[in-house]
Structure 1
Amino acid sequence: NLQHAAVFPNQISTEQQSLMLMKRLVAVAVSCITYLRGIFPESAYGTRHMGDFSVKILREDKTCPGSTQLVKWILGCYDALQKKYFNNDGICLQTVTECYHFKFKYTHNGPLLDFSSKNKRNYSTITCADTTKASILLVRKIYVLMQSLSPLPNDVCLTMKLFYYDEVTPPDYQPPGFKEAECEGMIFEGEPACLNVGEVPTPFHMLKVKVTTAEERMEIFDKSILKRGETNVPLQVLTVDRDDPE
């Protein structure tokens, strides 16, 4: 059940509290994306308050098998995140029209990786207020971006892929609702443009969200903040690098 996803903890002084926030942010972000892109009907969502605005949260709906399946995928993400195996996932609308990347990193008790950021902050100095502010800003940015993208075609197909930290993940591990698959690239019609939407730090975790889509689909968005692809091939394959420099 994702329906309590928009409630912020009063403090983030333990790893468990941080983990709970990461789970809630995944639910809120995926719900906002699918709602604003018109993937599922209104009946597939409930309403929750987040700060001073309301957000739609996915729920299992017997009349909408797709939303029920996506809720199960999100719960599978929770399993991998809790075990600290989860590196990132991609939610793709194929052939790939849009791809949403959620990248996680862990601090002292998980895979210790240098998460490069312009703000070069020490994890231990991050306050609950900092995290809450960053969370609300991330959701606001998602709202703005979703309303800036061109409309989706009528026959979209949604998939989710998870990538793990190989050094700590058992080779036979698969979270509930997922099966093993090859790490394939993504094919875009047109030149892919990657936009860093935002990041949310806690003393124990870091979540970073990116969106990749064909650049022409961002017609009314500020293109100066996009990362353009290196080639202009009409049909381009974008590979997924698990340890890409951020």
Structure 2
Amino acid sequence: VLPCRVSTEQQSVALVKQLLAISVSCVTYMRGLFPESSYGTRYLDDLCLKILREDKSCLGSLQIVKWIQGCFDALERQYRLSSCPLSHLQTVTELYQFKFKYKKQMPQMDIISNQEKLVKGVCSQDVSQASRLLLRKLYLLMQNLGPLPNDITLTMKLLYYSDVTPEDYQPPGFKEDGSPGDLLFDGDPVSLRMGSVSTGFHLMKVRVTTEKKRMTAVESSLIQKKGPTEISHQGLDCDEEEEE
């Protein structure tokens, strides 16, 4: 499912696109948003992955696939930062944030051996392990979260780095959002940092925010060492800077 080697920018783009698609598919499948027919099955080691596919019998899942493809377009152009809110009525009940950073130059390590200078990039094994750990933690969290309200809506909002994104750019399947930037959260929100993957070309971070009462069955190992970050204010700023 995941590339075994990441040594070029093209391979890095392919990896983060796969991680995004698998993560969004995981959320929609484990939260019961679409029927089984909307998913294909792939395996990552012993982990069974359900991947969204173009299911013409389910317009909702078909729309999500189009949104993911639009995200791919923005990723290839190095434009985007995204979030996937699950809304109940007019407020957000669960939020999935995918943050991407781009590096202009590949960090390198110089090794001198037999008078020859060898250049190596980020260890592919480390990237692979980080990717697997991120997906496993996300799946484990989804398995243990409490149920969502019956009437929910999934939306995808993209937030851009304004200094590199043309003002008139809209990814395929998206339109300009005229609503306020802050998202109003329903209930008592708890934010969890699921992990990050750095390829040397890209840095991808994933954060999940959900209502505190859904966390009763979540193991403490999933929660960061300092405990879950409780968001005291009702306005959630999706462009909030995370600690490195």
- Work out whether the TM-score is over 0.5: yes
Quote the offset at 1:243 in angstroms. Answer: 4.1
User: 1:60 and 1:217 mapped to 2: Cα distance?
Assistant: 31
| Paired residues of 2:82 and 2:157 also in contact (CA < 8 A) | yes
Q: TM-score normalized by structure 2?
A: 0.86
1:237 is matched with: 235
| Paired residues of 1:189 and 1:214 also in contact (CA < 8 A) | yes
SS at structure 2 position matched to 1:189: coil
- 1:195 maps to a residue whose letter is L
Quote the offset at 1:193 in angstroms. Answer: 1.1
| Paired residues of 1:126 and 1:203 also in contact (CA < 8 A) | yes
Counterpart check, 1:126 vs 2:122: yes
User: 1:53 and 1:147 mapped to 2: Cα distance?
Assistant: 13
% of aligned pairs identical? 52
Q: Which digits, 9 at most, give the CA deviation of each residue in 1:111-168, with x for residues without a partner?
A: xxxxxxxxxxxxx752111111111111110111112211112211000000111111
Quote the offset at 1:51 in angstroms. Answer: 2.6
User: 2:63 and 2:141 mapped to 1: Cα distance?
Assistant: 25
Moved over 3 A (4+): 242-246
Q: TM-score normalized by structure 1?
A: 0.85
Counterpart check, 1:153 vs 2:149: yes
Counterpart check, 1:16 vs 2:10: yes
| Paired residues of 1:192 and 1:238 also in contact (CA < 8 A) | no
* Larger mean Cα displacement after TM superposition, 7-16 or 170-179: 7-16
SS at structure 1 position matched to 2:214: helix
Match of 1:144 among 124, 140, 146: 140
> Which ranges in structure 1 are unaligned for 5 or more consecutive residues?
1-6, 111-123
Quote the offset at 1:52 in angstroms. Answer: 3.0
User: 2:231 and 2:154 mapped to 1: Cα distance?
Assistant: 23
> Highest CA radius of gyration, 1 or 2?
2
1:86-101 map, 5 Å? 86=80, 88-94=81-87, 95-101=91-97
2:189 is matched with: 192
1:173 is matched with: 169
| Paired residues of 1:51 and 1:136 also in contact (CA < 8 A) | no
Counterpart check, 1:205 vs 2:202: yes
SS at structure 2 position matched to 1:145: helix
Match of 1:220 among 217, 238, 242: 217
Quote the offset at 1:218 in angstroms. Answer: 1.2
| Paired residues of 1:163 and 1:242 also in contact (CA < 8 A) | no
User: 1:145 and 1:34 mapped to 2: Cα distance?
Assistant: 13
What CA RMSD, in Å, does the superposition of the two structures yield over aligned residues? 1.8
> Which ranges in structure 2 are unaligned for 5 or more consecutive residues?
107-119
1:106 is matched with: 102
